[in-house]
Amino acid sequence: MASLYLKNLSKTYPGGVTAVRDFSLEIKDQEFLILVGPSGCGKTTVLRMIAGLEEISAGELSIDDRLVNDVAAKDRDIAMVFQNYALYPHLSVYDNMAFGLKLRKIPKAEIRKNVQEAARILALEDLLKRKPKELSGGQRQRVALGRAIVRKPKVFLMDEPLSNLDAQLRTQMRIEIAKLHKNLQTTFVYVTHDQTEAMTMGTRIVVMRDGLIQQIDSPQAIYDQPVNMFVAGFLGSPGMNFLEVLIIEENGCIFAKLADALLPVPTAEGQRLKEQGYLDREVVLGIRAEHLCGSGDFLDRYPECALRGRLEFSELRGAETYHYVRIDGREVVVRVSPELRAETGQEVGAGFTMAKAHFFDQES
Ligand code: ADP
Ligand code: MG
């Protein structure tokens, strides 16, 4: 059990690269926190600073109100699970899990108890005598988790632990790690660049870009109220559609002008745009593929926001189909029901409700 407090953490590597800037965050006891962002945005650096594997250039790191900037990694009571789980090939599963405890000169009986308990939690009991090469990828990843669990650390740090597994195993392990968190009731900080993992596993998400925090929120809030185009485009599949529109006022109502169409902006949002000085300026209207609907019934449902374009490509995903439609020179992705069939090149429609539209500054 532990809470972490990161205050204005920064990391500049010896070569001069500043990988993390002014990173401030409070991680609550027993929280499952996700750090997400594209490759190179500084996620691993944040984890390594927490673990004590990387010196902190500026700022303060506290664990349970104790400043630990200068506390050695081995004295922080934190376990880290890596992407390439690096098991000792010549040791059995049991000995791999026991290794760290033996180094610490823990009594044999206690080691046995801890390993057996971890093996039970991770369903590894029947595999304890095997060598890593006799295990599947998922089983090896579970052994790597087991090695962390046996130490009973206060905090688990996981750096893209599933990225070496195939898609099906990833889904399975995603659920197992979420269950593990419930079971252990410890603080988890989990790094991923996979938006499905980010959206489904944690209680809170930190979205990073170029070493800076973009947004910290629950998965639902990140999805519903992304603060900028970067966050909106990064989370949610297949991302958000962005359309440049001109904000205008006519007869006291605010509209977003998209080519020839005048789309009525909901009153509160319109007021906000007006107050913030966006009248007669171009902004970006964001709308998710799942909040658009295809030809068929859209004209009745959203007559005020019906656009027409040409179907460029349709992607069948089983439960749903995505239409890539060229509308006024740009490509818009629309989620349609699988029954809706259309030929490439055919004229199709795309309708939506402005209640689901987001407005962003350009290039945010
Ligand atoms: P992520 O885990 O999000 O992919 P990293 O924390 O690994 O990002 O890296 C962030 C930035 O810091 C990158 O630009 C990377 O090249 C740089 N970086 C990482 N480790 C080192 C290092 N040991 N020395 C110099 N630069 C580094
Ligand atoms: Mg990394």
User: What pLDDT was estimated at residue 339?
Assistant: 82
Cis peptide before 238 (omega within 30 of 0): yes
User: What pLDDT was estimated at residue 239?
Assistant: 78
Residue 24: phi and psi, rounded to 5, are -120, 130
User: What pLDDT was estimated at residue 242?
Assistant: 94
Contact 229, 286 (CB under 8 A): yes
Distances, alpha carbon 31 to alpha carbons 3, 154, 271, in Å: 8, 12, 37
Beta bridge partners of 241: 287
Domains of the chain: 4-234 (3.40.50.300), 240-360 (2.40.50.140)
Calculate how far, in angstroms, residue 170's C-alpha sits from the geometric centre of ligand 2: 18
Contact 265, 247 (CB under 8 A): yes
Candidates 86, 89, 63, 220; CA nearest to 145 is 86
Which DSSP symbol is given to 87?
A: -
Residue 82 CA: which ligand is closest?
2
User: What pLDDT was estimated at residue 301?
Assistant: 65
241 Cβ inside 6 Å of ligand 1: no
User: What pLDDT was estimated at residue 14?
Assistant: 94
Tokens of 77: 């009571």
What is the ipTM, given to two decimal places? 0.99
Distances, alpha carbon 193 to alpha carbons 159, 202, 361, in Å: 10, 14, 25
Calculate how far, in angstroms, residue 190's C-alpha sits from the geometric centre of ligand 2: 11
Please tell me the distance from the alpha carbon of residue 79 to that of residue 148, in angstroms, as a whole number. Answer: 5
Calculate how far, in angstroms, residue 147's C-alpha sits from the geometric centre of ligand 1: 26
Residue 48 CA: which ligand is closest?
1
The C-alpha angle 16, 19, 25, rounded to 5 degrees, equals 140
User: What pLDDT was estimated at residue 102?
Assistant: 93
Q: Which residues of the chain have pLDDT under 50?
A: none
Task: Please choose from 44, 54, 192, 208 the residue to mutate so as to test ligand 1's pocket, defined by most ligand atoms within 8 A of CB.
Answer: 44
Candidates 240, 239, 242, 198; CA nearest to 220 is 198
Which DSSP symbol is given to 336?
A: E
Contact 351, 306 (CB under 8 A): yes
Tokens of 45: 């650096």
